[in-house]
């Protein structure tokens, strides 16, 4: 789990570094970033309500603030916002948000606002990368930092799968089907990307996804 959380954190750091160092967000999907902010805000509503550990609270805070930062850069920064590929980033996010919400309203562990929003965030996270993957496919020369960002982000839920297997074996009664199935789907969505990422990495070439 620690490795999963760290790759998640690194992915965000890599993206912030890329944007800040190159003053460019080309190849980065604003739609995916906005979906992630929605995921973090709806999942971490309990930040001030239930306390698990200082570690958890800090990470929640970092995830919300950093994704807000990235969105701020992409929308408001004089130089960076000019480099956003708005014409290419056309994924219809309503097709991800509404089905996730409806599914959360129907399939959840407890019928309460907080629980439904939490479940919604789990469902939405599993598909939030899709606009970014579509944009990558449309981008001819994907820069290394952007592809590293997506690779790290994909590795994160993959490592969580190992964490869940471990916890399932060591903790009595540890079951969370909603999270597991969504996590499996989330990792599966990256399979195709992983294949081309590792292929280009082995050949020492820039990544370009076939259309």
Partner 1 sequence: RRKSWDHDEL
Among 36, 73, 120, 160, binds partner 1 (CB under 8 A): 160
The counts of H helices and E strands in the chain are: 8, 0
Among 174, 188, 195, 198, binds partner 1 (CB under 8 A): 174
* Residues 47-86: x where in contact with partner 1 by CB under 8 A, - otherwise, as a string: ---x-x---x--xx--x-----------------------
Q: Contact between 177 and partner 1 (CB under 8 A)? A: no
Q: Which token pair is 154?
A: 């994909």
Rounded distance, CA 142 to CA 152, Å?
A: 15
Span near partner 1 by CB under 8 A; candidates 22-30, 66-74, 132-140, 173-181: 173-181
Q: Which of 97, 93, 42 is nearest to 64 (CA)?
A: 42
Rg for the chain (alpha carbons), in Å? 17
* Residues 22-41: x where in contact with partner 1 by CB under 8 A, - otherwise, as a string: --------------------
Taking the alpha carbons at both ends of the chain, their separation in whole angstroms is: 34
Among 21, 54, 171, 202, binds partner 1 (CB under 8 A): 171
Give residues in contact with partner 1 (CB under 8 A): 1, 5, 8, 46, 50, 52, 56, 59-60, 63, 118, 160, 163, 167, 171, 173-174, 176, 179
């Amino acid at each position: 789990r620690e490795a999963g959380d760290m790759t998640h954190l690194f992915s965000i750091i890599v993206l912030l570094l890329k944007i800040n160092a190159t003053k460019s967000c080309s190849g980065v999907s604003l739609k995916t970033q906005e979906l992630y902010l929605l995921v973090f805000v709806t999942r971490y509503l309990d930040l001030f309500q239930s306390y698990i550990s200082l570690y958890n609270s800090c990470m929640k805070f970092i995830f919300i603030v950093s994704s807000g930062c990235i969105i701020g850069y992409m929308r408001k920064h004089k130089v960076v916002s000019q480099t956003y590929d708005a014409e290419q980033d056309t994924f219809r996010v309503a097709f991800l948000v509404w089905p996730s919400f409806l599914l959360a309203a129907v399939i959840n562990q407890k019928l309460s606002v907080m629980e439904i929003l939490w479940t919604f965030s789990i469902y939405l996270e599993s598909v939030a990368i899709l606009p970014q993957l579509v944009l990558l496919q449309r981008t001819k020369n994907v820069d290394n930092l952007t592809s590293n960002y997506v690779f790290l982000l994909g590795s994160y839920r993959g490592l969580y799968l190992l964490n869940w297997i471990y916890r399932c074996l060591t903790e009595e009664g540890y079951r969370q089907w909603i999270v597991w199935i969504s996590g499996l789907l989330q990792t599966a969505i990256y399979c195709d990307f992983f294949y081309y990422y590792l292929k280009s990495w082995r050949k020492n070439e820039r990544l370009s996804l076939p259309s």
